[in-house]
Structure 1
Amino acid sequence: MTIQKNSSIYGTANLLPASKSISNRVLIINALAGNASQLHNLSDANDTQLMLRLVNSKDRIIDVEDAGTTMRFLTAYFSITNQRKVLTGTQRMKERPIGILVDALRTLGADIDYQEKEGYPPLTINGFNGQKTTSLKIRGDISSQFISAIMMVAPVLPQGIKLELEGKIGSRPYIEMTASLMAQFGVKTKFVGNLITVTPQTYTPTEFTVESDWSAASYWFAITALAEKAEVLLPRISLHSLQGDRAIVDIMKTLGVEAEIEGSQLKLSKGSITKELRWDFTHCPDLAQTVAVVCAAKGVKGSFTGLESLRIKETDRITALQNELKKIGADLIEESSQWTLVPTDKLPTRVTFATYKDHRMAMAFAPLATLMDVDIENPGVVKKSYPNYWNDLKAVGFHLTE
């Protein structure tokens, strides 16, 4: 797909999706509540549509495709609810580690086998042999989805659970989001320090409306930051959000974007910019690609930490970023657990970007069309989280051709 350069952007992202993170959690919780809730504004992202279809599926073989959240949440859900399933996915899914979650579920009493490589999908779930322990330990710096998966099923365990997170906790806002959503369906959790306690409880069906997705909104912050002139409206989004990626407001304020509530929408406009950004992405790793691209193109030196989890996403996002940033004359230099973003001093007039089967690579690099003609390989990857991204770009003035 070719996006022609347009440096003046005005309009509304009317098709901004609902939060994928909230939708996926709510679907698991609702299933545990007997599927009796009224859920509104569920995400139309492929990951959520998969979850919607698969969580109550009677099929023996469950194909989660490339949806990591769906794989992790369903592994815990099917195990603890004593269902016999085979969980599989794409080749990339078979390369994404799940051993820490499986070990934890086995400790609780789940019977799970690996079909191919130890520690990786596909999995055979043979049911639940009764709760064997009330205490679990799990690393705090691995995917928060492992932790959330266990938390959501914990209330239906006969004895509940005490879950100790060892070491540094990554993506803490996502764990807090899970606890908050559980509370809205009648289940109380205690999260003090590194210990999460969930007693045996019953989920209560309720009526729930999902808010817009802050991860998807981040690309509009990038477009506003990079455009010469811009004013963008984002619908159905709250500054008081459960989502950790709301941090994009604070990050982009230093990169030249002002955000203010206007009626029921969030208005983005041009502001002043800094020359250097230091940020820890431990709790918002999905923003890293977006921010790196903006810094690279705006001449802002970046000092980043907390990018470790990017290695095990839809692709190795650190390597992918390094490869694609070089095409515009920028670099992302890794030294131990520190990354330095060296911005470009001269942008090209046209670049073709690879997407690595990763929706966030496509959406993070597309905003460069405010500065140059951009070609995006395999643009269909955006269906994973923001299926109408390209339509929203057209609506604000970009000209796209395939």
Structure 2
Amino acid sequence: MKKIKLSFDKFKDSTIYLNSSKSESNRLLIIKALSEKEITIKNLSKANDSVLLKNLLESENLVVWDAQDAGTSFRFLTSFLAIKKEHVVLSGTERMKQRPVKVLVDALNKIGAEILYLENEGFPPIYVKGKINQVKNKLDIPGDISSQYISSLILIAPLLEKGIEINIEEPFYSRPYVNMTLNLMNSFGIKSAVKGNKISIKNQEFSSGSYIVESDWSAASYWYSILSISDNINNLTLQGLKKKSNQGDSVISELMKSFGVNTQYKEDGIVLTKIKLDTEEIELDFRDCPDLAQTILVVAAYHKIKLKVSGVESLKIKETDRLVAMKNELKKIGCDFYEEGNYWILEKRRREIDDELSIDTYKDHRMAMAFAPLASKKSMIINDPDVVVKSYPTYWEDLKKVGFIIT
């Protein structure tokens, strides 16, 4: 297995040009593929997931669509293929075959799709036998499994003859991601009605237009972590981020105030600066921003802050079971992380972090990027570092620009 040694030398450059948002890019790619009008996407993400989705959507006459390890792409393609294709297979990696799709497939079949499972009931791979012949337009969807199911259905709603009305059952996790989908669709003329947890979209056409993808707030979280942990970096400038953002992970700017980082908004990005940190214990709910949980856990572990977290159920069905992975790796730096009722508890770090710490990444990009900031204090080994290509291909190169050494 490939591995890298990561350490910090001396501070170099404070300006980082972040990768574009994978979440916005993937939704826009589906919108473009569904629309019959001219749609231009500028600043498209170079994340592997987005490149893969773009290549699949631009391929002609595919019978087997391989989403590899891209969970968002798989879920969006499930609905896309159900309305656009017939007699096609959608598959992925062995890990993808362990990630459930039953809620989404059941919903699509209820409105008139004909999707079958090729191996295990409720899991990929799936066979899309024919295009949707719509028989109903009202659905009840649980809101606590994956918001991507909801976004997947919303994206194809304008093409459905009878439109769609979705009632999202409480608790409703990752609501900002659903709002992002609705906002991006609205940018191309699609009107929706939202009342509480009910979303209604009528049959209508996308309009032509262009969209500039914002930089990735999820990627920004690792730079917040670096500034919080490092003694050698006092400020950082992150380009391409907006105060008024579609991305739910922009809440990192508020969360990190408790961990010693302030955010100042500029016309072309943000400036991060250190502020006093006096937090000893904090309770956080990640239901709207689960991708930030790993970052925050590592920062809290370093600063010996006790955390009580909720809203992390979806982490069990990501690239790996992220809760188990975090429990294993946090133990290596002297922190217990365990489930207690409806919460997960991170106890204060008991000891100093070992030199030459070795972190396993579990084929999960966010494991690698969440733990890497610790290298600003202690040299460490990252196993299977190439996993970052999934969402932030230039992560290691960007670390070198500010003063990290990679060997």
TM-score, reference length from structure 2 = 0.96
Q: 1:82-231 alignment to 2 at 5 Å?
A: 82-230=85-233, 231=235
CA distance in structure 2 between the partners assigned to 1:126 and 1:260 by the alignment: 52
**Per-residue CA shift, 1:327-374, capped at 9, x if unaligned?**
000121211220111121322222000000000000000000011011
Give secondary structure in 1 for the equivalent of 2:275.
strand
1:267 aligned to 2:271?
yes
1:29: which partner in 2? 31
SS of the residue corresponding to residue 211 of structure 1 reads: coil
2: CA distance, partners of 1:83 / 1:203: 23
2:404 is paired with a residue whose SS is coil
Distance 1:382 1:35 in 2: 34
Which of 81, 84, 89 pairs up with 1:81?
A: 84
1:324 aligns with 2:304: no
User: What residue is the counterpart of 1:377 in the other structure?
Assistant: 383
1:192, distance to aligned residue in structure 2 (A): 1.2
Does 2:347 match 1:303?
no
2:371 aligned with 1:368, yes or no?
no
Kept in 2: contact 1:72–1:149 (CA 8 A):
yes
Deviation string, structure 1 residues 203-236 (Cα, Å, up to 9, x no partner):
1121111000000110000000000132211111
How far apart, in 2, do the equivalents of 1:84 and 1:253 lie? 52
How many equivalent residue pairs? 400
Structure 1 portions without partners, runs of 5+: none
CA distance in structure 1 between the partners assigned to 2:196 and 2:108 by the alignment: 23
1:262 & 1:104 partners in 2: Cα distance?
A: 43
Q: Is the 8 A contact 1:62 1:86 kept in 2?
A: yes
Distance (whole Å) between structure 2 residues aligned to residue 200 and residue 51 of structure 1: 25
Alignment-derived partner of residue 244 in structure 1: 248
Per the alignment, residue 232 of structure 1 pairs with 236
Contact 2:83 2:132 in 1 (8 A): no
RMSD: 1.2
Match of 2:261 in 1: 257
- Asked whether the equivalents of residues 6 and 369 of structure 1 are also in contact (C-alpha less than 8 Å), the reply is no
Shift in Å, 1:262: 3.6
Residue 365 of structure 2 contacts residue 390 of structure 2 at CA under 8 Å; is this kept in 1?
yes
Kept in 1, the 8 Å contact 2:11–2:402? The answer is no
Q: Secondary structure at the match of 2:14?
A: strand
Alpha-carbon distance in 1 for matches of 2:191, 2:219: 29
Cα offset, 1:100, TM superposition:
0.5
Following TM superposition, the consecutive aligned residue runs of length 4 or more in structure 1 with deviations greater than 3 angstroms are: 5-10
Question: In the TM superposition, what is the alpha-carbon distance from 1:135 to its structure 2 partner?
Answer: 0.6
Displacement of 1:277 in angstroms is 2.1
8 Å Cα contact 2:8-2:403 kept in structure 1: no
1:292 aligns to what?
297
CA distance in 1, matches of 2:172, 2:69: 25
2:58 matched to 1:56? yes
Aligned counterparts of 1:9 and 1:126: Cα–Cα separation in 2: 56
More deviation in 257-266 or 35-44?
257-266
User: 1:281 and 2:283 equivalent?
Assistant: no
- Mapping of residues 36-55 of structure 1, within 5 Å: 36-55=38-57
For residue 3 of structure 1, give the secondary structure of its aligned residue in structure 2: strand
Deviation at residue 12 of structure 1 after TM alignment: 1.7
Q: What is the alpha-carbon distance in structure 2 between the residues aligned to residue 302 and residue 263 of structure 1?
A: 34
In the TM superposition, what is the alpha-carbon distance from 1:7 to its structure 2 partner?
7.5
1:84 is displaced (CA, Å) by 2.9
Q: Partner letter of residue 308 of structure 2? A: S
SS of 2:120's equivalent in the other structure is coil
Instruction: Indicate the residue corresponding to 2:395 in structure 1.
Output: 389
Percentage of matched positions with identical amino acids: 46
Measure how far apart 1:299 and its partner are: 1.0
Does 1:357 find its partner at 2:360? no
AA partner of residue 118 (structure 2): Q
SS at structure 2 position matched to 1:17: coil
Q: CA deviation at 1:56?
A: 3.3
CA distance in 2, matches of 1:347, 1:182: 47
Q: Is the 8 A contact 1:93 1:121 kept in 2?
A: yes
Return 103-112 or 49-58, whichever deviates more: 49-58
AA aligned opposite 2:364: D
**In structure 2, C-alpha distance between the alignment counterparts of 1:52 and 1:149, rounded to whole Å:** 16
Q: Counterpart of 1:292 in structure 2: which amino acid?
A: L
Q: Distance in 1 between matches of 2:363 and 2:12?
A: 28
TM-score, with normalisation over the residues of structure 1?
0.97
Per the TM alignment, residue 253 of structure 1 is displaced from its structure 2 partner at its CA by: 0.8
| 1:343 maps onto 2:348 in alignment | yes
Q: Unaligned regions of 5+ residues in structure 2, if any?
A: none
Task: Give yes or no for contact 1:4–1:400 (8 Å, CA) kept in 2.
Answer: yes
